[in-house]
């Protein structure tokens, strides 16, 4: 009975995590959709990174599955997989040295137009693409998008060679361009929201004198800095679960307002977001996606690893550690590609064994 109860809790937890929508993730999706619609503004984007990203390696066993079109057991053929990164950069740096607060895989089903999204939690203990083990977000910091993609391909048996990176400031500017969002602020949230405004403003170059403090509770219009700071609150009742709810509240409004905005407002958003973007897509590729954007739809979202613990992993510090790494990778493939006969590669099996050994050594 106890075992059944634990399994039931794990299933409920998995379903809950697959419904979670993180603010920066929706921002990136919003950015992609708007960018594809307004392709005539592409000159503002940094699209000169194609060569370096293509060099990101793909596991030989994965490549063999992709090349074997007559025996596509893994069902990866027909999908375009893209790495999405959200960085918290104080100097607008979107390359090596930047910290990735968000790491996500977007998988586009080229037959149906459905896009599924799966986060890789930034503190996940992984092989970071060079046979050293650390938190996932250290890969981008150490080697930019190329190493971060290398990490995703190595650990998840993927074939990613495309990416989009946006800066944290983009969320603030997008909300301001949309005229703010309506939020019902509770009494206990006021102090934390105002406190977070100080750090957020410093991080993205807003003068402290331009901060507008929240003075009262109740429904009110928040500007970009206020709304972004509201999304970061995690010290009230509900902790991270309540924070996720705040993020959904804000970003649902952002998405709805953006999709119904006029071309002038979208132009303002493009002006603000594109200089804060780095991508491997060429202009021709983005124009091609734009021609089909009306056929796309955002499907399920989830987070990897699905089953996990949190604890100290030696030099890596407090980390998110998969319960059974290779089983989590199996679930990852099932989530993105549906029913398949995917079997973890030798590389993933070796990584799984290493993570299990390190976890045992650190008493987790």
Average pLDDT over residues 290-316: 80
Q: Are 337 and 110 in contact (CB under 8 A)?
A: no
Chain mean pLDDT for the chain: 79
CATH of domain 23-168+278-361: 3.30.420.590
My answer on whether omega of the bond before 212 falls inside 30° of 0, hence cis, is no
- Of residues 120 and 357, which shows the higher confidence score? 357
The fraction of the chain above a pLDDT of 70, given in percent, is 72
Instruction: Give ∠ CA 359-362-364 in degrees, rounded to 5.
Output: 60
Burial of 241 (0-12, 13-18, 19+ CB in 10 A): exposed
- Average pLDDT in the 179-183 region? 93
Write down the pLDDT at residue 16. Answer: 42
Render pLDDT for 235-267 as a digit per residue (tens, 0 to 9): 777 555 466 567 667 766 776 676 667 767 767
Band (29; pLDDT cuts 50, 70, 90): low
Q: pLDDT, tens digit, for every residue of 36-84?
A: 444 445 566 666 666 666 677 788 888 887 777 676 677 787 888 989 8
DSSP states of 9-52: HHHHHHHHHTT---HHHHHHHHHHHHHHHTGGGGGGSB---HHH
Distance CA 63, CA 60 (A): 5
Closest CA to 31 of 320, 279, 197: 279
Cα angle, residue 225 at apex, residues 223 and 230 outer, rounded to 5°? 90
Selected residue with higher pLDDT from 126 and 25: 126
Specify the pLDDT at position 156: 97
Residues 91-146: tens digit of each pLDDT: 567 788 887 877 888 888 888 888 788 888 888 999 999 999 999 999 999 999 99
Give me the residue spans of the domains in the chain: 23-168+278-361, 179-260
What one-character-per-residue DSSP string does 71-106 give? Answer: --TT--TTEEEEEEEEE--SS---STT--EEEEEEE
pLDDT exceeds 60 at position 163: yes
Contact call for residues 303 and 70 (beta carbons, < 8 A) = no
Three-state secondary-structure class, residue 203: helix
How far is it, in rounded angstroms, from Cα 344 to Cα 324? 12
Single pTM value for the model: 0.76
The crossing angle, in degrees rounded to 10, of helices 263-273 and 23-37 is 120
**Class of the domain covering 179-260:** alpha beta
Contact 129, 147 (CB under 8 A): yes
pLDDT of residue 183: 93
Residue 287: pLDDT band by 50, 70, 90 thresholds?
Answer: low
Which pLDDT band holds residue 301 (cuts at 50, 70, 90)? confident
Burial of 72 (0-12, 13-18, 19+ CB in 10 A): middle
pLDDT at 42: 54
Contact indicator for 173, 227 with CB cutoff of 8 Å:
no
- Tokens 């066993």 locate to 61
Q: What percent of the chain has pLDDT over 90?
A: 35
Instruction: Tell me phi and psi for residue 7, to 5 degrees.
Output: -60, -40
Question: Per-residue pLDDT tens for 210-238?
Answer: 999 999 999 999 999 999 889 878 777 75
Among 10-19, 314-323, 337-346, top mean pLDDT goes to: 314-323
The tokens describing 247, both together, are 């993020």
Within a 10 A sphere around the Cβ of 334, how many other Cβ atoms? 13
CA nearest to 279, candidates 19, 10, 22, 32: 32
Quick check: 41 and 309 in contact, CB under 8 A? Answer: no
Band of residue 86 on the pLDDT scale cut at 50, 70, 90? confident
Q: Per-residue pLDDT for 27 more than 60?
A: no
């Amino acid at each position: 009975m106890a075992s059944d109860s634990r399994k039931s809790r794990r299933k409920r937890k998995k379903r809950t995590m697959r419904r979670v929508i993180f603010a920066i993730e929706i921002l990136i999706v919003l950015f992609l959709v708007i960018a594809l619609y307004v392709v005539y503004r592409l000159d503002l984007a940094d699209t000169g990174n194609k060569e370096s990203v293509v060099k990101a390696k793909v596991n030989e066993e994965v490549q063999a599955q992709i090349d074997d079109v007559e025996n596509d057991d893994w069902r990866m053929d027909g999908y375009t997989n893209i790495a999405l990164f959200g960085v918290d950069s104080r100097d607008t740096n979107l390359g090596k040295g930047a910290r990735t607060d968000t790491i996500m895989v977007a998988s586009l089903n080229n037959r149906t137009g459905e896009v599924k999204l799966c986060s890789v939690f930034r503190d996940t203990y992984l092989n970071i693409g060079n046979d050293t083990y650390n938190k996932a977000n250290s890969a981008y910091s150490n080697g930019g998008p190329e190493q971060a993609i290398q990490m995703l391909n190595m650990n998840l048996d993927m074939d990613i060679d495309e990416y989009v990176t946006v800066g944290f400031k983009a969320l603030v500017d997008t909300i301001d361009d949309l005229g703010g969002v309506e939020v019902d602020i509770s009494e206990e949230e006021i102090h934390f929201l105002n406190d977070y405004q100080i750090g957020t403003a410093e991080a993205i170059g807003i003068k402290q004198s331009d901060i507008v403090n929240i003075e009262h509770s109740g429904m009110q219009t928040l500007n970009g800095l206020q709304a972004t700071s509201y999304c970061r609150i995690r010290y009230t009742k509900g902790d991270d679960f309540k924070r996720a709810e705040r993020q959904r509240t804000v970003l649902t409004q952002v998405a709805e307002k953006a999709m119904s905005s006029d071309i002038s407002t979208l132009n303002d958003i493009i002006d603000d977001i594109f200089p804060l973007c780095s991508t491997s897509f060429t202009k021709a590729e983005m124009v091609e996606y734009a021609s089909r954007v009306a056929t796309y739809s955002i499907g399920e979202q989830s987070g990897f690893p699905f089953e996990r613990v949190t604890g100290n992993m030696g030099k890596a510090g407090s980390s998110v550690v998969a319960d059974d790494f290779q089983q989590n990778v199996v679930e990852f493939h099932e989530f993105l590609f549906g029913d398949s006969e995917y079997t973890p590669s030798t590389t993933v099996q070796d990584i799984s064994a290493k993570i299990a050994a390190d976890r045992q050594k650190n008493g987790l």
